């Protein structure tokens, strides 16, 4: 099967969140199953051309954008450690900027145009390459215009270069919808009839998430539970009706993790390696993390880690609600994250007030993320909603027991500790309240302190879970194959 994987961020080239991790792992996992997979992404300023060995493929590519022909380029490099080709769509005016989507927490005002250009250029680059995929995997609103142009764009319909190409649209987070002024429909060269209730119109605006849902052959999202949740009013962000209407074409496949990057036995970034059978290294990682964070070097005090975008979605209002109680408990707290100003202020104040208990790092720092996964005893993820979540999966692998809310991918991947039967992989709470979260933290701390055997069981069972891409890539492979009728 020939698969084009289109994404707006792909690790290690450019990353702001979990999508990049998925896009940096799933294509290679599909290639390992024997498929011809290629990746296409924008050529952002921050992509290190020399480090990744980018070569010019098409120095001048003309793309007809309705008002004028735009000239861009296509560069290419093999995906690191493989021969899988990556195509980078270049256009300095759109992509030679400091951010991927925004600067100083403000979205670029021309994002609709930037990503529409990316989608168009990605399609036309195929013509230049003479390579026609059977299916294009699109991810989130930034790539939603690929299925839209293929189905509705006047220059595409009926052309043999595009004819018969199937599209899968994967929703990584329904809340980020890419809603733009209605006038873009015409600016981007789409026919007026798409701006309707059964097209991409949503409350008078052009909604690209909706476009992806409406115009793709199949839709997937990143956990089974989230696939169900988004069909409800609580989680559907207004799109629940359209998702219900397409429920027969909607599947949930849990993301995997890449053990090359995230596994304590091979992780070159952490202070000491370890495995389920020999965990001395984990104690060293904890000591090193405490030292780095200026926290008392005590082995028996439970250390809770958090690595996250500081956004409402992630449940930080719950942490704010019980912060004082939390800081009175005998535990240590290390947080790494960036995001909303109100949370920066909250955690900055918390760190200043509790120097011996809390260590706050308000930046993006991949190495520190690895240190926290390896050095913490517990990982807190109290999300309001969580399409899949990767950090709880990394935590399992690092023997760092997750404390999570029962939603989306967290519900699908973490089993609550059952003290009677001595089963489980973490601590799960149901209600979205500070009290319920605190109760789960207290249960975890009590187990850590009072029941070392049960704690070891939790750590070992977690480390033995297989959430690598193998199973998920197979599921994607089967889904894609069913779409092209093979
Ligand atoms: P989301 O995609 O919603 O942000 P995920 O849990 O799916 O959440 O993925 C987040 C990814 O981004 C993880 O790989 C996590 O380690 C990383 N990450 C988030 N914030 C930071 C940060 N401040 N520094 C380093 N890595 C981070």
For 177-196, how does the pLDDT look when each residue is reduced to its tens digit (9 = 90+)? 999 999 999 999 999 999 99
Q: Which residues contact 446 (CB under 8 A, 6 or more apart)?
A: none
Query: 67 or 382: whose pLDDT is higher?
Result: 382
Residue 309 Cα to ligand 1 midpoint, Å, equals: 6
- As for how many domains the chain has, the answer is 2
Q: Residue 171, exposed/middle/buried by CB under 10 A (0-12, 13-18, 19+)? A: buried
Query: What pLDDT is attached to residue 68?
Result: 80
Query: 485 or 412: whose pLDDT is higher?
Result: 412
Q: Is the pLDDT of residue 418 over 90?
A: yes
Query: What's the pLDDT band for 223 if we cut at 50, 70, 90?
Result: very high
Residue 216 Cα to ligand 1 midpoint, Å, equals: 28
- Best mutation site among 223, 226, 309, 409 for ligand 1 pocket (most ligand atoms within 8 Å of CB): 309
Q: Closest ligand 1 atom, CA of 361?
A: 23
Q: Is the pLDDT of residue 486 over 70?
A: no
Atom 14, ligand 1: residue with shortest CA distance = 18
Q: Cβ(391) to ligand 1 under 6 A?
A: yes
Q: Is the pLDDT of residue 45 over 90?
A: yes
In this prediction, residues 461-477 reach a mean pLDDT of 95
In this prediction, residues 56-71 reach a mean pLDDT of 89
In this prediction, residues 337-358 reach a mean pLDDT of 95
Residue 18 Cα to ligand 1 midpoint, Å, equals: 6
Residue 17 Cα to ligand 1 midpoint, Å, equals: 5
Query: 165 or 69: whose pLDDT is higher?
Result: 165
Say what the pTM is: 0.93
Query: What pLDDT is attached to residue 359?
Result: 98
| Tokens encoding 371 | 């240190």
Residues 114 and 176 placed together within one structural domain of the fold: yes
- Specify the pairing of strand 85-90 against strand 36-42: parallel
Q: Is residue 201 part of a domain?
A: yes
Residues 18 and 141 placed together within one structural domain of the fold: yes
Q: Closest ligand 1 atom, CA of 262?
A: 14
Q: Closest ligand 1 atom, CA of 16?
A: 12
Q: Cβ(295) to ligand 1 under 6 A?
A: no
Helix, strand, coil share (%) of the chain residues, nearest 5:
40, 25, 40
Q: Cβ(21) to ligand 1 under 6 A?
A: yes
Residues 230 and 320 placed together within one structural domain of the fold: no
Query: What's the pLDDT band for 65 if we cut at 50, 70, 90?
Result: confident
| Tokens encoding 338 | 């960036």
Q: What percent of the chain has pLDDT over 90?
A: 94
Residues 65 and 93 placed together within one structural domain of the fold: yes
Query: Distance (Å, rounded) from C-alpha 486 to C-alpha 479?
Result: 10
Q: Is residue 272 part of a domain?
A: no
Atom 22, ligand 1: residue with shortest CA distance = 364
Query: What pLDDT is attached to residue 64?
Result: 87
Mean pLDDT of the chain: 96
Q: What percent of the chain has pLDDT over 70?
A: 100
Residues 177 and 290 placed together within one structural domain of the fold: no
Query: What's the pLDDT band for 467 if we cut at 50, 70, 90?
Result: very high
Q: Is the pLDDT of residue 248 over 90?
A: yes
- Best mutation site among 170, 308, 392, 394 for ligand 1 pocket (most ligand atoms within 8 Å of CB): 308
Q: Which domain holds residue 356?
A: 280-466
Q: Is residue 248 part of a domain?
A: yes
Residue 241 Cα to ligand 1 midpoint, Å, equals: 30
Residues 440 and 477 placed together within one structural domain of the fold: no
Q: Which residues contact 223 (CB under 8 A, 6 or more apart)?
A: 252, 253, 254, 255, 387, 388, 408, 409, 411, 412, 413
Residue 229: other Cβ atoms inside 10 A:
23
In this prediction, residues 251-267 reach a mean pLDDT of 94
DSSP 47: S
Q: Cβ(369) to ligand 1 under 6 A?
A: yes
DSSP 79: P
Q: Cβ(360) to ligand 1 under 6 A?
A: no
- Best mutation site among 267, 315, 390, 392 for ligand 1 pocket (most ligand atoms within 8 Å of CB): 390
Query: Distance (Å, rounded) from C-alpha 142 to C-alpha 8?
Result: 6
CATH no. for residue 111?
Answer: 3.40.50.2000
Query: Distance (Å, rounded) from C-alpha 307 to C-alpha 322?
Result: 18
Residue 303: other Cβ atoms inside 10 A:
23
| Tokens encoding 24 | 């940096």
DSSP 184-233: HHHHTT--GGGSSTTTTEETTEEEHHHHHHHHSSEEEES-HHHHHHTTST
- Best mutation site among 26, 307, 404 for ligand 1 pocket (most ligand atoms within 8 Å of CB): 307
Residue 16 Cα to ligand 1 midpoint, Å, equals: 7
Q: Is residue 264 part of a domain?
A: no
| Tokens encoding 98 | 């400091």
Q: Closest ligand 1 atom, CA of 173?
A: 3
Residue 485 region by backbone torsions, left for phi larger than 0, else alpha for psi between -120 and 50, else beta: left
Residue 450 Cα to ligand 1 midpoint, Å, equals: 32
How would you list the strands of the sheet with 85-90, edge to edge?
A: 55-65, 68-78, 85-90, 36-42, 2-6, 135-139, 166-171, 218-221, 250-252
Q: Is the pLDDT of residue 76 over 70?
A: yes
C-alpha distances in Å from residue 81, one per residue of 260, 295, 423: 11, 38, 38
Atom 12, ligand 1: residue with shortest CA distance = 17
Residue 116 Cα to ligand 1 midpoint, Å, equals: 26
Query: What pLDDT is attached to residue 105?
Result: 82
Q: Cβ(12) to ligand 1 under 6 A?
A: no
Q: Is residue 271 part of a domain?
A: no
Q: Is residue 54 part of a domain?
A: yes
Query: What's the pLDDT band for 154 if we cut at 50, 70, 90?
Result: confident
Residues 247 and 292 placed together within one structural domain of the fold: no
Query: What pLDDT is attached to residue 485?
Result: 85
Smallest Cα–Cα separation from 10: which of 66, 94, 89?
Answer: 89
Query: What pLDDT is attached to residue 301?
Result: 97
Q: Is residue 401 part of a domain?
A: yes
Q: Cβ(365) to ligand 1 under 6 A?
A: yes
Residues 474 and 462 placed together within one structural domain of the fold: no
C-alpha distances in Å from residue 141, one per residue of 119, 169, 177, 220, 359: 11, 9, 6, 13, 35
Q: Is the pLDDT of residue 366 over 70?
A: yes
Q: Give per-residue pLDDT as tens, 47-56.
A: 999 999 999 9
Residues 189 and 285 placed together within one structural domain of the fold: no
Atom 26, ligand 1: residue with shortest CA distance = 366
Stated as kind and residue range, the H or E segment containing 121 is: helix 111-129
Residue 402 Cα to ligand 1 midpoint, Å, equals: 15
Atom 2, ligand 1: residue with shortest CA distance = 18
Residue 481: other Cβ atoms inside 10 A:
14
Q: Give per-residue pLDDT as tens, 436-449.
A: 999 999 999 999 99
Q: Is the pLDDT of residue 157 over 80?
A: no
Residues 454 and 430 placed together within one structural domain of the fold: yes
Query: Distance (Å, rounded) from C-alpha 419 to C-alpha 83?
Result: 48
Residues 376 and 291 placed together within one structural domain of the fold: yes
Q: Is residue 269 part of a domain?
A: no
Q: Cβ(338) to ligand 1 under 6 A?
A: yes
Q: Cβ(18) to ligand 1 under 6 A?
A: yes
Residue 142 Cα to ligand 1 midpoint, Å, equals: 19
Residues 90 and 211 placed together within one structural domain of the fold: yes
């Amino acid at each position: 099967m020939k698969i084009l994987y289109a994404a707006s961020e792909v690790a290690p080239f450019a990353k702001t969140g979990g999508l990049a991790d998925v896009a940096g792992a799933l294509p290679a996992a599909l290639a390992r199953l024997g498929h011809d997979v290629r990746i296409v992404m924008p050529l952002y300023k921050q992509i290190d051309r020399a480090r990744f060995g980018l070569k010019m493929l098409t120095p001048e590519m003309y793309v007809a954008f309705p008002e004028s022909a735009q000239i861009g380029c296509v560069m290419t490099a093999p995906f690191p450690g493989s021969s899988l080709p990556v195509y980078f769509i270049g256009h300095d005016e759109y992509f030679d900027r400091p951010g991927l989507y925004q600067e100083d927490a403000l979205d670029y005002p021309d994002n609709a145009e930037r990503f529409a250009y990316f989608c168009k250029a990605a399609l036309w680059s195929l013509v230049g390459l003479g390579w026609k995929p059977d299916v294009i995997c699109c991810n989130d609103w930034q790539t939603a215009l690929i299925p839209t142009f293929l189905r509705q764009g006047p220059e595409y319909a009926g052309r043999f270069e595009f004819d018969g190409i199937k599209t899968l649209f994967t929703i990584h987070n329904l809340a980020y919808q890419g809603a733009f002024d209605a006038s873009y429909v015409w600016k981007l060269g789409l026919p007026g009839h798409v701006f309707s209730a059964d097209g991409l119109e949503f409350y008078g605006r052009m909604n690209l998430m909706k476009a992806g849902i409406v115009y793709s052959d199949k839709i997937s999202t990143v956990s089974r539970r989230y696939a169900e949740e988004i069909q409800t009013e609580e989680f559907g962000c207004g799109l629940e009706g359209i998702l219900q209407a397409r429920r027969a074409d909607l599947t949930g496949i849990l993301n995997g993790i890449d053990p090359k990057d995230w596994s304590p036995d091979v992780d070159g970034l952490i202070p000491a390696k370890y495995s389920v059978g020999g965990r001395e290294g984990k104690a060293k990682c904890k000591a090193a993390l405490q030292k780095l964070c200026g926290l008392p070097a005590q082995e028996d005090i439970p250390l809770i880690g958090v690595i996250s975008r500081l956004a409402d979605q992630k449940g930080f209002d719950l942490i704010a609600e019980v912060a004082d109680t939390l800081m009175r408990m005998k535990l240590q707290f290390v947080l790494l994250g960036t995001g909303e100003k109100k949370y920066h202020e909250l955690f900055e104040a918390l760190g200043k007030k509790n120097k011996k208990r809390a260590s706050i790092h308000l930046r993006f720092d991949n190495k520190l993320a690895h240190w926290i996964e390896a050095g913490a005893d517990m990982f807190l993820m109290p999300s309001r909603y969580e399409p899949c979540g990767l950090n709880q999966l990394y935590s399992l692998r690092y023997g760092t027991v997750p404390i999570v809310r029962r939603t989306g991918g967290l519900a699908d991947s973490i089993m609550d500790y059952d003290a009677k039967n001595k089963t489980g992989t973490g601590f799960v709470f149901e209600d979205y309240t500070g009290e319920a979260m605190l109760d789960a933290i207290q249960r975890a701390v009590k187990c850590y302190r009072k029941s070392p055997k049960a704690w070891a069981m939790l750590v070992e069972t977690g480390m033995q879970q297989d959430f690598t891409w193998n199973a998920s890539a197979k599921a994607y492979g089967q889904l894609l194959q069913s779409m092209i009728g093979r």
